[in-house]
Amino acid sequence: KALERMAPIAAVTEERSAPIRFPEPEKKLASPIIRLEGVEAGYSADTPILRRLDLRIDQDDRIGLLGSNGNGKSTFAKLIANRLEFVSGETVKAQQLKVAMFAQHQLDDLRPEETPVDHVRPLMQGAAESRVRARVAQMGLDTSRMDTKAKDLSGGEKARLLLGLVSFDGPNLLILDEPTNHLDIDSRDALMMALNDYSGAVIIISHDRHLIEATVDRLWLVRDGSVQPYDGDIEDYRSEVLTGKRPAAKAEKVETVPQKPAAERRKDAAERRRELEPLKKQIRDAENQMARLQKQIADLDSELARPELYEKDPGKAARLAQDRSNAEKRLTGIEEEWLSMSDRYEKAVA
């Protein structure tokens, strides 16, 4: 499995496309970070869409929302993201809780005449231009596209930019509503790696089965006005949708190998992420070096593309060409180290 997921990584590297990285939560919060008790929610007090919600979300939860279109998945996401007030019941949230939400319709909120750098600069008042560009690179945007107006970016590039903007302040909970709709295969893989690296809680709404299977460890089903933990896997749900028959209760099934409780599985996953933190830091350092070298090479290419340089100062042209060659060699070496470290990380989390 790890080797399968490494193939797109090489493709990303060859195309000089930086990986996506979500900022880590600034503060670790005690669980639960959100608790709902008897909550009803909707766009009108007279006709609530969701009823009797009794749920909790912990700091290390990875939740995939299942359910047919129109059953209230997006309504639930908006409720958790503070974009919709609950009608009745009680909602308890941790102090200093930061929630970020990505929804595909937000792509229209990007300022069409501004570049990715223009979007990020106001969020880093007083920061050096190099730091601003490094932050844009962490969003997975190639250096050659940082100064492209948003209206001229591809759908995948817009999605990367928006993902970076909504998660800019290091949220404790990241909610993604159909995040892969505009992403190509390589970008989807980069998103999955970023989500698996991210230590905060995640809630995902997606028809992308591979994304759900690769990034979540719990499933909640939104159906008949309720949100309940789903006692099955994606294949069980797919079969249920196709046949119209709900699966038998798990108590009726005989399990040859007892499964750990969900809380224990989440604890094990959190411990594994902590153990891998030093390796993750090395990977991030390599990514930052790659971004800097990519920018250096792009700048040198621009300088070397000026015909007058070779006429006025051939010595300088030769030095710049050598600088570019050296930077290319360093970039190749760092990319090889990055691939090796990424391979080790993927095997560790597989």
List the chain pLDDT tens, one digit each, 350 residues.
333 333 333 333 334 345 888 999 988 899 899 999 999 988 877 788 899 999 999 998 999 999 988 888 999 999 999 888 888 899 999 999 999 999 978 888 899 999 999 999 999 999 999 999 999 998 988 888 999 999 999 888 999 999 999 999 999 999 999 998 878 777 888 898 899 889 899 999 998 888 898 899 899 999 989 999 998 888 888 888 777 766 555 544 434 445 555 456 555 665 776 787 788 788 878 888 888 898 899 899 888 888 898 889 989 999 999 999 999 999 989 988 988 888 787 777 65
Nearest-angstrom CA–CA distance, 87 and 77: 15
In a domain, 123, yes or no: yes
DSSP code of residue 124: G
Residue 181, pLDDT score: 84
Nearest-angstrom CA–CA distance, 268 and 348: 13
Backbone torsions φ then ψ of 90, nearest 5 degrees: -130, 135
Whether 232 and 127 map to the same domain: the answer is: yes
Q: How would DSSP label each residue in 224-289?
A: TTEEEE-SS-HHHHHHHHHH--PPPPGGGSPPSSPPPPHHHHHHHHHHHHHHTHHHHHHHHHHHHH
Whether 258 and 204 map to the same domain: the answer is: yes
CATH of the domain at 245: 3.40.50.300
Give the number of other Cβ atoms within 10 Å of residue 67's Cβ.
18
Contact 206, 191 (CB under 8 A): no
DSSP code of residue 25: P
Whether 89 and 231 map to the same domain: the answer is: yes
Indicate the helix (H) or strand (E) that contains 141: none
**Upstream peptide bond of 112 is cis (omega within 30 degrees of 0):** no
- Closest CA relative to residue 191, chosen from 214, 220, 217, 218: 214
Residue 9, pLDDT score: 37
In a domain, 271, yes or no: no
In a domain, 337, yes or no: yes
C-alpha Rg value of the chain to the nearest Å:
23
Q: Pick from 238, 262, 286: which residue ends a domain? A: 262
Whether 173 and 224 map to the same domain: the answer is: yes
In a domain, 268, yes or no: no
In a domain, 152, yes or no: yes
Instruction: Provide the domain limits for residue 333.
Output: 277-349
Whether 198 and 114 map to the same domain: the answer is: yes
Whether 198 and 291 map to the same domain: the answer is: no
- Closest CA relative to residue 299, chosen from 326, 329, 318, 320: 320
Nearest-angstrom CA–CA distance, 66 and 216: 12
Look-up of token digits 């790696």: 193
b (16+ CB within 10 A) / e for 240-275: beeeeeeeeeeeeeeeeeeeeeeeeebeeeeeebee
Indicate the helix (H) or strand (E) that contains 77: helix 73-80
Whether 248 and 295 map to the same domain: the answer is: no
Q: Pick from 227, 262, 297: which residue ends a domain? A: 262
Residue 13, pLDDT score: 39
Whether 157 and 200 map to the same domain: the answer is: yes
Token pair, residue 265, equals 């599985």
Domains in the chain: how many in total? 2
Whether 200 and 298 map to the same domain: the answer is: no
Give residue 310's identity as a one-letter amino acid code: Y
Residue 53, pLDDT score: 93
Residue 99, pLDDT score: 96
155-166 and 185-197 are packed helices; what angle lies between their axes, rounded to 10 degrees? 10
Contact 291, 140 (CB under 8 A): no
Nearest-angstrom CA–CA distance, 218 and 50: 20
What's the full length of the chain, in residues? 350
Contact 94, 29 (CB under 8 A): yes
Whether 162 and 310 map to the same domain: the answer is: no
**Terminal Cα distance for the chain, rounded:** 7
In a domain, 291, yes or no: yes
**Any bridge partners for residue 202, and if so which?**
62, 174
Q: Pick from 262, 286, 308: which residue ends a domain? A: 262
Nearest-angstrom CA–CA distance, 104 and 72: 16
Whether 310 and 194 map to the same domain: the answer is: no
Whether 235 and 318 map to the same domain: the answer is: no
In a domain, 269, yes or no: no
In a domain, 4, yes or no: no
Indicate the helix (H) or strand (E) that contains 238: helix 234-243
Contact 205, 178 (CB under 8 A): yes
Nearest-angstrom CA–CA distance, 162 and 150: 11
Give the number of other Cβ atoms within 10 Å of residue 200's Cβ.
25
